[in-house]
Amino acid sequence: MENKIIIGSDHGGFDLKQEIIAFLQNDMKYEVQDMGCYDKNSVDYPDIAETVCNEVKKSGLYGILICGTGIGISISANKINGIRCALCSDEYSAKMTRHHNDANVLALGGRTVGPELAKSIVQTFLTNDFDGGRHEKRVNKIKLLEEKQTGSK
């Protein structure tokens, strides 16, 4: 995966998003595409999830989503075919969701995870790869569930 990433948050995740963007750009040397929100005015997390995830699907890049708890935005993201979004609050979960689930979007809670832990989670997510093997069959079954629900591939 190239060193580009897509990020978005609602107002509840805005402050953490700003910290994560600086970390990605300055420490990890990523080019960051910020899909909003751009201030602390109230926005609806499903809208941000849709915008970021559609860009993830189109570009093949990873995404990061942040709302107050990470719950609503991750639920919204997982409604979009082709998105495997994992809400992580620790490094182990971030590592395993890449190794086992081939997650392409990371969700964080702006009001539940501190900035230093969030940076560590992001770094872990971005520096681990999908193991494939027996996990490939399971990820393919997730894709089949999507097809059954929508009737599309």
pLDDT of residue 2: 72
Amino acid in position 113? V
In this prediction, residue 113 carries a pLDDT of 98
Helices (H) and strands (E) in the chain, counts: 6, 5
The DSSP string of 62-117 is: EEEEEESSSHHHHHHHTTSTT--EEE-SSHHHHHHHHHHH---EEEEETTTS-HHH
Structural domains in the chain, sorted by start: 4-150 (3.40.1400.10)
Least confident residue range of 52-56, 121-125, 148-152: 148-152
Residue type (1 letter), 104:
N
What average pLDDT is seen over the chain?
96
Q: What is the pTM of this model?
A: 0.95
82, 87, 90, 95 alpha-carbon torsion, rounded to 10°: -10
Tokens of 36: 């909003």
Distance from C-alpha of 5 to C-alpha of 80, rounded to nearest angstrom: 18
Cα-to-chain-centroid distance, residue 111: 16
- First vs last Cα of the chain: how many Å apart? 23
26 confidence band (pLDDT: 50, 70, 90): very high
- Res. 152: pLDDT tops 70: no
Residues with active-site annotation? 67, 100
pLDDT of 153 reads 54
Q: What is the structure's pLDDT at 30?
A: 98
> Do 103 and 7 meet the contact criterion of CB atoms below 8 Å apart?
no
Beta carbons within 10 angstroms of residue 131's beta carbon: 14
Only one residue has tokens 């639920």, namely: 75
What's the pLDDT at 150? Answer: 77
Residue 61, pLDDT > 60, answer yes
Q: What is the CA radius of gyration of the chain?
A: 14
- Which two three-digit tokens encode residue 104? 């392409």
Q: What is the pLDDT of residue 149?
A: 85
